[in-house]
Amino acid sequence: MRTRRWSLPAVIAAALLLASGAGAQPRPASDLAEAKRHFELGKTLYGEHATAEALAEFELSYKLAARPAARKNIAQCQRDLKQFAAAYTTYKGYLAEFGAQLSAADKATVQRALDELAVLTAELTIRSSEAGAEVTLDGRLAGRTPLDGPSRVGLGSHRLRVVKGGFEPFDQEISLQSEEKRELEVRLAREVTTGHLAVREANGRDVHLFIDGADGGPLPFVGDLPPGEHTLEARGPKHAADKRIITVVRREKLDLVLDAAPLLGHLRVAATPAAAHIGVDGVDHGTGVWEADLAPGVHNVVVTLEGYPAVVRELDLARGATLVVEIPLAAPMSAGRPEPVYRGVYGGFGFLFDVSAGAFLGNAYQLPAGAPPLSNALHLSSAPFAGGAKVNVGYAFDWWGIEFSGMFAATYDASRFTPASVSGNIELERLSYLGILGAGARATSKHESVRVTLGVAPGVAIRAINFTRSLNDSSGLSSNPSFSAGTTYVAPALLLDAAVMFGRSPGTKFFLGVNAWADFPPARTVGPDTGGAPSAGGYFDAPNQMWKVTYGPDFYVGPTLGFRFGH
């Protein structure tokens, strides 16, 4: 059926006719004038085939003054733009609102347009199991349930979505044919807020599942968990699986298989001769052969028999592993001195005398501004030295052990500088007291009477430094006042030593060796002393000259001798 297109003169005539209708609602004069302006602009745009722009003007005119001509022109523009469903709805509303004002011919024309648009559209009725659900069609809000009635919809595919809080959204694509009347019953299901988890143990072992630390019962487990990360752990009396972190996703199912490994390891010890006693971790387990399940880790095994040297083994037992060890005793001990024992508590005390091997890296003296240069370098030329004592206490497990170390030392150095073209000299002295506390490890060879030992212990240094500067005239006397200042700091430090020990273990041993130590302070500045700056002519014409001294890391090395007691 061919659509009858209204001409603009006919539209204008209808507008003039209907504008004087008896049922017109009074409007402010300003709204009526503005509505007329938009109406006229819409006619002009329509005549220029700018249909979309004309539609916007007619809609604005109708909003300002609900005139039937504007409503009908809106429907005509929608039809021209192939918005058939919208045009049908507009014509339907036009006929319902202004039908009493229309002539029979006009009504017939509108009804004919509706019949033609009905062929180009379909009728969709949507019902929902839940009131208050928001209904959208192709992304446009159609209303909230229950809807007033059927909706006119264009032909083809459409995306229908119905949503309400607390329910799963309904989302479906529908396809409508010409003049089809479709009724849809939408049933909203309660929203799923959890994920589904199923867990089993690979070998059916007797273990419980712990979820976020809480006992979830024996495996297999089936249940729902809130979304997010969860920690799973399978534990039983003899088996356990490592902790595992999972992510539960809402409405998704997660299937897991856990492999629970044995918690204990199995140790079997066979001693030769069979009369030898077997001790494990300090407990005597009888003679010959002994075996049992033990916790993973290091276990101390001692095999003893009177007249034989004892055999000590440290065995590292892994979880789930079986360890079989045969321990034969050596030939019986001959009468004489007992065998050395290298396991136990020990202590040591020694004296040290060191010199700086780092040449005071970072220790420098800064000249005052405008002073003549010195004839020799600004760094100390003499080698600093230190003297002190060191103590250490530790426990030897065999050839290795752990220990605590302490050291106290006093350091001293002095240098003399000669300013250029000036009679006299400048004498610089530094005296410091240093204490270092550290903890570390020691390795010692195993021998009956002569042993080599090496120790390292990182720690903390506490140091107090005093700096003195003297100005001497040509006679060598301190004719000008001296300047003295000091600083204290706490910094990281390192103690090292190596020595040769003479003596049996346990017992008193004399040692001779070499030691080294270093401390790494933050930058420290002593000075400058207050007072006026010197003149450019020399260093001795001002009682207080603007000197500055900066200290950095120190490294000392030297011989040490002393005694070690115990093992």
More confident residue, 551 or 98: 98
Task: State the amino acid at position 434 in one-letter form.
Answer: L
Task: Give the distance, in angstroms, between the CA of residue 311 and the centroid of all CA atoms in the same chain.
Answer: 49
**Residue 3 banded pLDDT, cuts 50, 70, 90:** very low
- Residue-wise pLDDT tens digits, 315-366: 998 888 889 999 998 877 555 566 788 899 999 999 998 887 654 444 555 5
CATH class of the region 344-566: mainly beta
d(C-alpha 75, C-alpha 40), whole Å: 17
Q: What is the DSSP letter of 194?
A: -
Peptide bond into 506 cis (omega under 30): yes
Cβ distance 110 to 101 under 8 Å? no
CATH class of the region 265-328: mainly beta
Question: Quick one: pLDDT at residue 20?
Answer: 36
d(C-alpha 42, C-alpha 69), whole Å: 11
Q: What is the pTM assigned to this prediction?
A: 0.40
Residue boundaries of the structural domains of the chain = 8-119, 122-186, 195-262, 265-328, 344-566
More confident residue, 534 or 131: 131
Question: Quick one: pLDDT at residue 532?
Answer: 47
Q: Do domains 8-119 and 122-186 have the same CATH topology?
A: no
d(C-alpha 211, C-alpha 263), whole Å: 20
Task: Give the distance, in angstroms, between the CA of residue 313 and the centroid of all CA atoms in the same chain.
Answer: 43
Instruction: Indicate the length of the chain as a whole number.
Output: 567
At residue 276, φ and ψ (nearest 5 deg) are -70, 145
Question: Quick one: pLDDT at residue 79?
Answer: 93
For the range 53-61, what are the long-range contacts, defined as Cβ-Cβ under 8 Å and sequence gap of 24 or more? 55/81, 60/35, 61/35, 61/36
Is the per-residue pLDDT at 56 higher than 80? Answer: yes
- Residue-wise pLDDT tens digits, 365-386: 555 555 555 544 344 445 678 8
Question: Quick one: pLDDT at residue 29?
Answer: 74
Fold of 8-119: 1.25.40
Question: Quick one: pLDDT at residue 10?
Answer: 37
Fold of 195-262: Immunoglobulin-like (2.60.40)
Question: Quick one: pLDDT at residue 393?
Answer: 95
| Residue % of the chain over a pLDDT of 90 | 47
Question: Quick one: pLDDT at residue 381?
Answer: 47
For the range 288-294, what are the long-range contacts, defined as Cβ-Cβ under 8 Å and sequence gap of 24 or more? 291/266, 291/267, 292/266, 292/267, 293/264, 293/265, 293/266, 293/267, 294/264, 294/265, 294/266, 294/267
**Residue 247 banded pLDDT, cuts 50, 70, 90:** very high
Residues facing residue 196 across a β-bridge: 224, 253
- The chain-wide mean pLDDT, for the chain, equals 82
d(C-alpha 72, C-alpha 82), whole Å: 15
Task: State the amino acid at position 8 in one-letter form.
Answer: L
d(C-alpha 146, C-alpha 141), whole Å: 14
Lowest mean pLDDT among 36-45, 154-163, 326-335, 485-494: 326-335
Using DSSP, how many helices (H) and how many strands (E) does the chain show? 6, 34
Question: Quick one: pLDDT at residue 12?
Answer: 36
CATH of domain 122-186: 2.60.40.1120
Average pLDDT for residues 186-190, to the nearest whole number? 90
**Residue 1 banded pLDDT, cuts 50, 70, 90:** very low
